[in-house]
Amino acid sequence: MTTTSKKLETVIVRFAGDSGDGMQLVGDRFTAATAHVGNDLSTLPDFPAEIRAPAGTPGGVSAFQIHFASRDILTPGDHPNTLVAMNPAALKAHLDALEAGGTLLVNEDAFTPANLRKAGYEANPLEDGTVEDYQTFEVPMTTLTTRATDDIEGLKPAEAQRTKNLFALGLISWMYGRPGKATISWLEAKFASKPAIKEANVAAFKAGYNFGDTAEIAATPIEVGPAPLDAGEYRNINGANATAMGLLAASVKSGLQLFFATYPITPASELLHHLARHNRFGVRTVQAEDEIAAVNMALGASFGGKLGVTATSGPGMDLKAETIALAQVLELPLVVIDVQRAGPSTGLPTKTEQSDLLMAIHGRHGESPLPVIAASTPSGCFDAAVEAARIAVRHRTPVILLSDTFLTNSSEPWRLPSMDDLPEIDPDFAIGPNAGDEFLPYLRDERGARPWAIPGTPGLQHRLGGLEKEHGSGKVSYDPANHALMTKLRAEKLEKLAEELPPLVVDADEGAELLVLGWGSTSGVIGAAARRIRGRGLPIAIAHLRNLEPMPLNTGDVVRSFDKVLIPELNTGQLLSLVRDKFLVDAIGHNKVEGLPILAEELEQAILELIE
């Protein structure tokens, strides 16, 4: 047993291997163990679009990064302190990211001439000086795993070798003092019906752990203590699950059955997988024949008095656009979730981007404004989903909720909210006439919202439709003045919603001349970069928009009150364009479209260039 250990405040580990190597599983398990220790954490799964991408090539590498700390952290981190590379391709794809002098663990067995060739190495990087600036540990993981699982009856050699990811996990768990018990019981439950596989995985994990512990590896174990998080009960959660929970919460709180119709698309399908399990809450999920059917089914269900929700990613949003415009004219509640991915077209389907903002706001024919909100952290997807449903129901409108690949896959500790704190969501169905003896389906209330009269309600029969409707009566109307009036009234719904929104909060230092304004998943990196700037003794202001359409009423005043406004986005400048357009402020963009989040150091540099 090693007796000495080194204390660190924050650590970044990245696992990288073939997409069939089980790196995501290893990452998930390491995350669970890390949550148990009580660290704050943030993760970044990063995998190829192909289920089994060409083995051994850099394009087929799947990686998982976790940042954990004994203080609160905001991002999955820039550069790993430790990189686990299961083969040459993983080394090739990820070595550049490893911090100078960082720890490199490689599966030595995988560095065969064939694998080196597939990875594009002309010489063995373990021998030609490529890795000499790192603290490199060459571990024959495949051999050791095979040896550890040698005497397991009924285990095929290929099955034995496949458990080498657990060996790596065991070794890293030892290195960072993560308890193995939870991982072992998880393996025992997961493979309960396959005793040989279960035994092999457990044996490989223990072998890796013991390999470190018996000092066969000359590294000092590292201790990262629990983070002083706010008191409360926590769980680890990713954005997909948090969104699902938010929708369930909105359903229970409103008393509206959740009707979720969708068509499989990466990365939005995760939401369907989560919700399909929740029979217990009466969730009706439908896997529709296409994207257009999905949104129409959700809209039909809304007409029937349900909480109609659909979810997709960019290409699906294009297909749904016509129906979203219909919903806007019908003025029925509908939640459309867009888990943004790198586009256009199929683009980089498993990589993140924030490039659907302008489409969400403007991407429909005709004048069809509707509320757009964006989640900014994985756990924040819960509140964002509740808020999207609340606005949709209260204001009788489709709402677009923007998430993205990073938020949906990334996880972090979540302090569980009290259900008592959920906002009121009152369907307030129409139950009788609203104008003397008559029912006028387009008579508006003080919010500009029309009544939601659902089929089955005697006497309130009415016809909705895409043809322009007469103000009040809702009859088909081709009257020019009426169309102008209805266009204005639909726009005013957003103005009235804006009046109800909480103001944009600015976190500003005294004397700050630069405001960094963000939206969506850049929230973490903006916070992290601001810390770095403040660490240098420089003043800065940051603000983050959740409501993109309409924006809080003070947004213009905020952006006008700083000398400079920097807008970091994973697109080529979409919020930038909105801010310039709405407020005539010459804001500056910091833009990245590489399918990966902005790094804190990149943003820090961009900020320094503006304030120094």
Q: Please give the residues from 220 up to 249 whose contact with other proteins meets the rule CB under 8 A.
A: 226, 229-236, 245, 248-249
Query: x/- binding map, residues 394-423, to other proteins, per CB under 8 A?
Result: ---------------------xxxxxx-x-
Distance, in Å, from the CA atom of 530 to the CA atom of 538, rounded to the nearest integer, reads 9
The verdict on 479 binding other proteins (CB under 8 A) reads no
Residue 18 vs residues 32, 81, 329: alpha-carbon distances, Å: 22, 21, 49
Least distance in angstroms from the C-beta of 415 to other proteins? 8
Binding residue (CB under 8 A) for other proteins from 20, 124, 222, 281: 281
Find out whether 76 and 17 touch, Cβ atoms under 8 Å.
no
Task: Check: CB of residue 45 under 8 Å from CB of residue 74.
Answer: no
Token pair for residue 487? Answer: 């266009």
- Identify the DSSP state of 180: S
Nearest CB to other proteins, comparing residues 102 and 305 = 305
Least distance (Å) between residue 147 CB and other proteins: 32
Q: Which stretch binds other proteins (CB under 8 A): 2-10, 200-208, 291-299, 590-598?
A: 291-299
Q: Which of residues 349-368 bind other proteins (CB under 8 A)?
A: none
The answer to the question of residue 378 lying near other proteins (CB under 8 A) is: no
**C-beta of 259: minimal distance to other proteins in Å?**
5
CB 476 within 8 A of CB 464: no
Q: State the binding string over 418-437 for other proteins (x if CB under 8 A, else -).
A: xxx-x------x-x------
Interacting residue with other proteins among 210, 434, 457, 591 (CB under 8 A): 457
The least CB distance from residue 209 to other proteins, in Å, is 20
Nearest to 207 by CA among 149, 246, 259: 149
Q: Binding of other proteins at residue 467 (CB under 8 A)?
A: yes
Q: Kindly state the smallest distance separating residue 142's Cβ from other proteins, in Å.
A: 31
Of the candidates 25, 32, 49, 55, which one interacts with other proteins according to CB under 8 A? Answer: 32
Instruction: Enumerate residues 52-81 that contact other proteins by CB under 8 A.
Output: none
CB burial of 322-340 (b: ≥16 within 10 Å; e: otherwise) equals ebbbbbbbbbbbbbbbbbb
Cβ atoms of 506 and 558 closer than 8 Å = yes
Stretches 276-284, 350-358, 505-513, 602-610: which one binds other proteins (CB under 8 A)?
276-284
Residues of span 505-524 touching other proteins by CB under 8 A: none
Q: What is the DSSP string of 381-434?
A: HHHHHHHHHHHHHHHTSEEEEEEEHHHHH-EEEEEPPPGGGSPP-------S-S
Subset of residues 159 to 218 that bind other proteins, contact rule: CB under 8 A? 182
Candidate ranges 109-117, 320-328, 399-407, 489-497; the one touching other proteins (CB under 8 A)? 320-328
Choosing from 464, 498, 588, 608, the residue that interacts with other proteins (CB under 8 A) is: 464
How far, CA to CA in Å, does 22 sit from each of 37, 67, 86, 141? 23, 19, 10, 14
- Asked whether the beta carbons of 569 and 576 are under 8 A apart, the reply is yes
Q: Which single residue is written with the structure tokens 């910091």?
A: 590
Q: Does 459 bind other proteins (CB under 8 A)?
A: yes
